[in-house]
């Protein structure tokens, strides 16, 4: 914005200068202006020259003395330049005043040469300095430049004192001669070159200070044009030219002030403001962060004596799967859209915050009662019934929420936030949309943490074991395979449900080494049964999302099979539909696995969002219908239609289809009618230990 303003001012300065110059020439040709009195002219000229001297030394002081620890080339060289220019102007002022210097009085011709030298130094110095790229310099460099500038200035003064008598005159019979006009043209040319250099150097982004310096060069150029057009040194044009030159000094002072003081100060303010913003805002979503939430809720709590305030924490369900499947960039987009949707639909007094990761928070001030707050939270959760579009694909997501209320659920802001966070994790664990905090949740959270710590030790303590559930051909009731299922026997708690510890293993990353153990153990067991002379059958092993996304998964499985000596055709790997969200990554991983010779099935089919277009090209062998559809197949027409459709589709795609959760004869009969290939469930057998599986299904 400030750059735009300075650009407009620079353009106006150039236009007004041209207009004024043309107007003066027309006025002079139309009216005979009276030549100013010589003494009055000298008095005005001394005043203007003295101002130039003062401004020149001010520019030197600004660039040299202030912020010496943050020197840049532009600041340092401009300061050095104006030390030389100020000395020339000082000597020229002394010549006008008739003051003797070391016994020598400067002549009028000396004064004119000093004036030209001053303007030539001004223009040439700006051209040379600003054609360079700006950069920071050291204090040692400053000392070198100061020493060099001082020596050069002294040498130039000495040379001028020695050879000034040989300088050609710039006036003839009181009028300016051609040499004077030629020098003016040279100064104008250098000024124009300086303007072009600055514009070219800053063509992408022009700093306001550089635009002001361009205006200074414009005024020098116009001033020299007026001086050239003057008949003599007492002409009104000459006086106006000198006045323009003085204005250019003021603009240069202003530009250097912007360059050395105002711009660094504003940059420091901008950096501090950005740091302050980042300290209290989430960089991804732009929402206020947890630190701001603590601060805001703390003020709200302190300012209330009897009122209630609610804090709601939202969590994106299955975000980890989405993030792992689609990639972090898509995950970031999803979080941005969730935050934006919550913010756009919040009420005027409500405030939305990012808690980091996939969690958001909402402050609900002035609560009437818990029920109204719960209704409000459910309204916000319903917003996500509409899918979110990422890269032209619609994804259905859901949120769960946990709520805590001050002062009922905590005495401080930190405590209330912590309890709301506990409530949302409780809601997520139990598949509930929203939960209000109750103290018993804390105990469960502590138990969950302890369970996670025990889980880390379970593998090295050999607390895991496998059970096997048979896979039965529905027409012949022959055993054609088995599924390996992980179990955990805790030393104190006994058997821990997979529903309880598998999500913990996923979140903590322990699922990768545990999954490798399952794969190796199941393959080893199958090989031992084959070596014992039993009929070879296939063992199905579930892969987690983390395992599936490992780049070296195929190599790892191939190495395990080679070590054990089990043929790949006796291994089936089960994945879920959610693992195929990122189509390119999933297809490439499946291709590498198929090259090993193993079979691949999609488990819990029908519960995800698989595209039939991708499904027909996916290198898979089997679809496993989720047990939730099979369970109600005899009483729910919709479930029956879904099972029938999946079975028919599998036949058309030349895929095998297996029904999970078969529990009774009626379900078996229905599945046979639909030409479902295999089934597994309690009707045939619950998951059992290896020795029991051997006795029940392999010996006969």
Phi first, then psi: give them for residue 88, nearest 5 degrees. Answer: -60, -45
Predicted confidence at residue 70, as pLDDT, reads 63
Other beta carbons within 10 angstroms of residue 446's beta carbon come to 11
What percentage of residues in the chain have a pLDDT greater than 90?
20
What is the C-alpha separation between 687 and 470, in angstroms, rounded?
8
- Give the contacts of 281 (CB within 8 A, at least 6 positions apart): 287, 288, 289, 292
What is the rounded average pLDDT of the residues 341-366?
A: 89
Predicted confidence at residue 482, as pLDDT, reads 94
Residue 169 clears pLDDT 80, i.e. is over it: yes
Closest C-alpha to 243, from 256, 232, 227: 227
Residue with more model confidence, 620 or 439: 620
Residue with more model confidence, 64 or 364: 364
Residue with more model confidence, 343 or 158: 343
* Weakest mean pLDDT among 215-219, 504-508, 579-583: 579-583
* Weakest mean pLDDT among 223-227, 558-562, 612-616, 625-629: 612-616
- Give the contacts of 245 (CB within 8 A, at least 6 positions apart): 48, 52, 119, 219, 220, 223, 224
What is the C-alpha separation between 73 and 259, in angstroms, rounded?
11
Predicted confidence at residue 49, as pLDDT, reads 85
What is the rounded average pLDDT of the residues 268-285?
A: 83
What is the C-alpha separation between 638 and 383, in angstroms, rounded?
26
Q: Over the stretch 659-699, which tens digit does the pLDDT of each residue have? A: 898 988 888 888 888 899 999 999 999 999 999 999 988 88
Predicted confidence at residue 429, as pLDDT, reads 78
Residue with more model confidence, 487 or 453: 487
What string of DSSP letters covers 591-656?
HHHHHHT-EEEEEEETSS---HHHHTTS---EEEE-HHHHHTTTT-HHHHHHHHHHHHHHHHTT-E
* Weakest mean pLDDT among 209-223, 409-423, 597-611: 597-611
DSSP for residue 259: I
How far apart, in Å, are the Cα atoms of 49 and each of 54, 57, 83, 219, 344?
9, 13, 15, 16, 63
Residue 57 clears pLDDT 70, i.e. is over it: yes
Q: How confident is the model at residue 320 (pLDDT cuts 50, 70, 90)?
A: confident
Residue with more model confidence, 334 or 263: 334
Residue 6 clears pLDDT 70, i.e. is over it: no
Helix, strand, coil abundance in the chain, percent, nearest 5: 60, 15, 25
Residue with more model confidence, 656 or 303: 656
Q: How confident is the model at residue 9 (pLDDT cuts 50, 70, 90)?
A: low
Predicted confidence at residue 609, as pLDDT, reads 47
Q: Average pLDDT, whole number, for the chain?
A: 83
DSSP for residue 569: G
Residue 209 clears pLDDT 90, i.e. is over it: no
What is the rounded average pLDDT of the residues 415-444?
A: 84
Q: How confident is the model at residue 340 (pLDDT cuts 50, 70, 90)?
A: very high
Residue 1 clears pLDDT 80, i.e. is over it: no
Burial of 449 (0-12, 13-18, 19+ CB in 10 A): exposed
On whether the CB atoms of residues 288 and 282 are closer than 8 A, the answer is yes
How far apart, in Å, are the Cα atoms of 491 and each of 239, 303, 461, 500?
102, 51, 10, 16
Predicted confidence at residue 213, as pLDDT, reads 81
Predicted confidence at residue 241, as pLDDT, reads 84
What percentage of residues in the chain have a pLDDT greater than 70?
89
* Weakest mean pLDDT among 57-71, 314-328, 399-413: 57-71
On whether the CB atoms of residues 556 and 589 are closer than 8 A, the answer is no
Residue with more model confidence, 39 or 204: 39
Other beta carbons within 10 angstroms of residue 523's beta carbon come to 23
Residue 534 clears pLDDT 60, i.e. is over it: yes
Residue 68 clears pLDDT 80, i.e. is over it: no
Predicted confidence at residue 411, as pLDDT, reads 80
What is the C-alpha separation between 40 and 26, in angstroms, rounded?
25
Which of 58-72, 136-150, 531-545 is most confident? 531-545
Residue with more model confidence, 571 or 410: 571
Predicted confidence at residue 396, as pLDDT, reads 84
What is the C-alpha separation between 465 and 487, in angstroms, rounded?
5
Predicted confidence at residue 10, as pLDDT, reads 64
What is the rounded average pLDDT of the residues 337-351?
A: 90
Helix (H, G, I), strand (E, B) or coil at 422: helix
């Amino acid at each position: 914005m400030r750059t735009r303003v300075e650009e407009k001012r620079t353009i106006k300065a150039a236009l007004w200068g041209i207009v004024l110059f043309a107007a003066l020439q027309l006025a002079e040709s139309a009216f005979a202006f009276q030549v100013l009195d010589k003494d009055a002219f000298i008095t005005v000229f001394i005043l203007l020259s003295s101002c130039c001297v003062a401004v020149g030394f001010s520019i030197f002081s600004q660039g040299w003395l202030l912020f010496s620890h943050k020197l840049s080339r532009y600041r340092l060289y401009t300061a050095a330049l104006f030390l030389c220019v100020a000395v020339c102007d000082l000597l020229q002022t002394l010549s006008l005043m008739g003051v003797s210097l070391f016994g020598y009085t400067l002549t009028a011709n000396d004064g004119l040469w000093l004036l030209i030298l001053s303007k030539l130094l001004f223009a040439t110095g700006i051209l040379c300095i600003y054609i360079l790229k700006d950069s920071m310099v050291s204090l040692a460099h400053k000392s070198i430049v100061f020493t060099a500038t001082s020596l050069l200035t002294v040498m130039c003064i000495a040379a001028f004192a020695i050879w000034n008598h040989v300088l050609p005159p710039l006036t003839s019979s009181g009028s300016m001669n051609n040499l004077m006009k030629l020098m003016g043209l040279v100064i104008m040319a250098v000024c124009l070159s300086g303007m072009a250099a600055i514009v070219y150097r800053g063509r992408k982004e022009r700093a306001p200070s550089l635009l002001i310096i361009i205006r200074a060069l414009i005024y020098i150029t116009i001033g020299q044009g007026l001086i050239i057009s003057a008949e003599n040194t007492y002409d009104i044009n000459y006086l106006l030219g000198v006045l323009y030159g003085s204005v250019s000094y003021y603009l240069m002072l202003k530009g250097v002030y912007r360059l050395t003081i105002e711009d660094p100060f504003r940059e420091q303010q901008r950096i501090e403001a950005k740091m302050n913003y980042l300290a209290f805002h989430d960089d991804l979503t732009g929402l206020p962060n947890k630190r701001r939430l603590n601060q805001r809720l703390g003020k709200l709590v302190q300012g209330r004596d009897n009122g209630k305030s609610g804090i709601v924490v939202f969590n994106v369900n299955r975000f980890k799967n989405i993030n792992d499947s689609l990639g972090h960039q898509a995950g970031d987009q999803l979080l941005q859209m969730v935050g934006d949707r919550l913010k756009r639909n919040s009420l005027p007094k409500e405030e939305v915050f990012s808690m980091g990761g996939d969690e958001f928070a909402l402050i609900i001030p002035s609560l009437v009662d818990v029920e109204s707050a719960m209704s409000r939270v459910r309204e916000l959760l319903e917003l996500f019934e509409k899918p979110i579009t990422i890269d032209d694909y619609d994804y259905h997501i859901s949120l769960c929420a946990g709520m805590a209320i001050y002062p009922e659920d905590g005495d401080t802001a930190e405590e209330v936030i912590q309890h709301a966070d506990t409530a949302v994790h409780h809601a997520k664990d139990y598949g509930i949309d929203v939960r209000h905090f109750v103290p018993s949740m804390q105990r469960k959270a502590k138990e969950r943490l302890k369970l996670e710590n025990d889980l880390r030790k379970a593998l090295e303590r050999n607390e895991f074991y496998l059970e096997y559930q048979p896979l039965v051909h529905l027409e012949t009731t022959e055993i054609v395979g088995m599924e390996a299922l992980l179990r955990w026997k805790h030393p104190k708690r006994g058997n821990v449900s997979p529903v309880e510890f598998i999500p913990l293993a996923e979140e903590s990353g322990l699922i990768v080494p545990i999954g490798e153990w399952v794969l190796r153990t199941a393959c080893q067991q199958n090989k031992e049964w084959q070596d014992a002379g039993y009929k070879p059958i296939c063992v199905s092993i579930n892969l987690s999302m983390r395992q599936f996304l490992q780049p070296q998964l195929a190599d790892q499985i191939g190495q395990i099979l080679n070590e054990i000596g089990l043929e790949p055709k006796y291994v089936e790997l089960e994945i879920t539909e959610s693992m195929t969200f990122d189509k390119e990554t999933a297809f490439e991983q499946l291709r590498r696995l198929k090259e090993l010779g193993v079979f691949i099935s999609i488990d819990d089919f029908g519960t995800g969002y698989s595209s039939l277009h991708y499904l027909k090209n996916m290198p898979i062998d089997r679809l496993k219908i989720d047990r939730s559809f099979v369970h109600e197949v005899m009483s729910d027409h919709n479930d029956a239609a879904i099972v029938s459709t999946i079975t028919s589709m599998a036949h058309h795609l030349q895929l095998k289809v297996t029904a999970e959760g078969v529990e009774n004869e009626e379900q078996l009969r229905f599945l046979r009618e639909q030409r479902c290939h295999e089934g597994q469930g309690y009707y045939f057998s619950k998951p059992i230990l290896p020795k029991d599986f051997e006795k029940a299904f392999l010996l006969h």
